[in-house]
Amino acid sequence: MQTLQTVLDKIRPLDSEWRNITQKHLDQLTKPPGSLGRLEELAAWYVQVTGKFPPRPPKKAIFTFAADHGVVEEGVSAYPKAVTAQMVYNFLRGGAAINVLARHVGAEVRVVDIGVDHDFENLPGLLHHKVSRGTRNMARGPAMTEEEARRAVGVGCQLAEEAVREGVGLLATGDMGIGNTTASSAITATMTGKPVSEVTGRGTGIGDQILKHKQAVIEQAIRINRPDIKDPLDVLAKLGGLEIAGITGLILGAAAHRIPVVLDGFISTAAALIAMALKPETKNCLLAAHQSVEPGHRIALTALGLHPVLDLNMRLGEGTGAALGMGMVEAAIRILTEMATFEQAGVSGKEAK
């Protein structure tokens, strides 16, 4: 396996020339220039990341990383920890929201056990990459060792690389892990410098009292662990989750191979904050699919400089927002490649006025 540094070294700035080529073609299509708004931007973004024109509708894969969180023992979630493993079974049977939305947009869901506190045996369809049986309680000490965090990031990098080799042209991130909004809030507060109270929300639906407790737990975790903001892997290890580390790796691996990545919600942006701190150019490969209800998500997106495509009041995770975002990217690619030009269609252009 290659080292993280090798992956980071491969991530380069993008060439704006691809964006210009795309916009020039878009302006020849039978529509007023710019009239497809965000779809035109998505088409230009896709071409710029991949550096290929014209693009083809890509094979699409959503990686849903599952892991457990030691901090759940502090009572920060509305659901019991067992739900993480139960939902993995649900994903594999195709009954979860991510399965439905992935089918809807024609994407494959790849479920990764990167740290669930459950033995799945050799469950077919599950990608077995367990680094440990969940993190330790970050309110009492580091969630992971740096070595565990590095291994989990490595899993994500490796999965991205394998996907590239199979010809996947569009990746999306997803997560399952009871307790992971707590970890994501801790990372987001640390990486953006915002107060914990501003980046912490109700997750799967906790009440006011538990919300206050959740914030206190996160503040304690940050106080005890003293994460070093200059060392993103230190922040990830001390406050993160194995699925968050896996997503960080997937993003970096994709960026190294110039594969566009559609980010899901709050958990994915926490992972992206770590990835971008490790290598700022990573940002160019990222698309924010949607604006989640979690208050920290907006703050993370602002820090990342990303503008979400959809705002559907969602807060489920799993990759559900990203799946819908993938559908939009595909629509944009099809606009670019399937529409007739003014010349082809014999349609008169704009009158000089």
Q: Given the structure tokens 């008169």, which residue do they identify? A: 348
Closer CB to a second copy, 30 or 284, in the complex: 30
Provide CB contacts within 8 A for 7, sequence distance 6+.
Answer: 157, 252, 253, 256
Which residues inside 103-162 make contact with a second copy, applying CB under 8 A?
A: 103-104
DSSP character for 340? P
Euclidean distance between CA atoms 148 and 155, whole angstroms:
11
144 token code pair:
């992971």
Main-chain phi, psi angles of 320, to 5 degrees: -65, -45
Asked if residue 37 binds a second copy (CB under 8 A), the reply is: yes
Residues in contact with a second copy, shown as a per-residue x/- string from 14 to 33 under the rule CB under 8 A? ---------------xxxxx
Q: CB-wise, 250 or 332, nearer to a second copy?
A: 332
56 binds a second copy (CB under 8 A): no
Q: Is 82 in the site for a second copy (CB under 8 A)?
A: yes
Which residue in the set 47, 87, 261, 306 belongs to the binding site for a second copy (CB under 8 A)? 87
Residue 96 in contact with a second copy, rule: CB under 8 A? yes
- Rounded to a whole number of angstroms, the minimum distance from the CB of residue 78 to a second copy is 5
Instruction: Report the residue from 315, 322, 326, 329 that binds a second copy according to the rule CB under 8 A.
Output: 315
Q: Which of 8, 123, 164, 210 is the binder for a second copy (CB under 8 A)?
A: 210
| Rounded Cα gap, residues 11 and 280, in angstroms | 9
Helices (H), the chain: 4-10, 17-26, 37-50, 82-93, 97-105, 146-165, 180-192, 196-199, 208-225, 232-239, 242-256, 266-278, 295-304, 320-338, 342-345
* 3-class secondary-structure state, position 317: coil
- Which residue of 101, 138, 259, 271 would you call a contact of a second copy, by CB under 8 A? 101
Interaction between residue 205 and a second copy (CB under 8 A) = yes
> Does 164 participate in binding a second copy (rule CB under 8 A)?
no
Instruction: For residues 154 and 133, give the distance between their C-alpha atoms in angstroms, rounded to a whole number.
Output: 17
Candidates 46-54, 255-263, 273-281, 331-339: pick the segment binding a second copy (CB under 8 A): 331-339
Contact residue for a second copy among 39, 261, 301, 326 (CB under 8 A): 39
Question: b vs e for 23-44, b when ≥16 Cβ sit within 10 Å of the residue's Cβ?
Answer: bebbeebeeeeeebeebbbbbb
In the complex with a second copy, which residue's Cβ is closer, 48 or 77? 77
Measured from the CB atom, is 142 or 265 closer to a second copy?
Answer: 265
DSSP for 148-210, please give it: HHHHHHHHHHHHHHHHHHTTEEEEEEEEE-TTHHHHHHHHHHHHH---HHHH---TTT--HHH
Where b means 16+ CB within 10 Å and e means fewer, 176-194 reads bbbbbbbbbbbbbbbbbeb
Residue 195 engages a second copy in binding (rule: CB under 8 A): no
Minimum distance from CB of 336 to a second copy (Å)? Answer: 9
Active-site residues, by number, are 318
**Which residues in 263-302 contact a second copy (CB under 8 A)?**
293
- Choose between 75 and 305: whose C-beta lies nearer to a second copy: 75
Please select the residue that binds a second copy; options are 255, 314, 322, 329, rule is CB under 8 A. 314
Placement of tokens 């965090």 in the chain: 149
Which of 73, 212, 340, 343 is the binder for a second copy (CB under 8 A)? 340
Phi, psi values for residue 109, rounded to 5°: -105, 125
Residues that bind a second copy (CB under 8 A): 29-39, 75, 78-80, 82-83, 86-87, 89-90, 93, 95-97, 99-101, 103-104, 204-207, 209-210, 293, 309-316, 320, 324, 327-328, 330-331, 334-335, 338-340, 344-351, 353
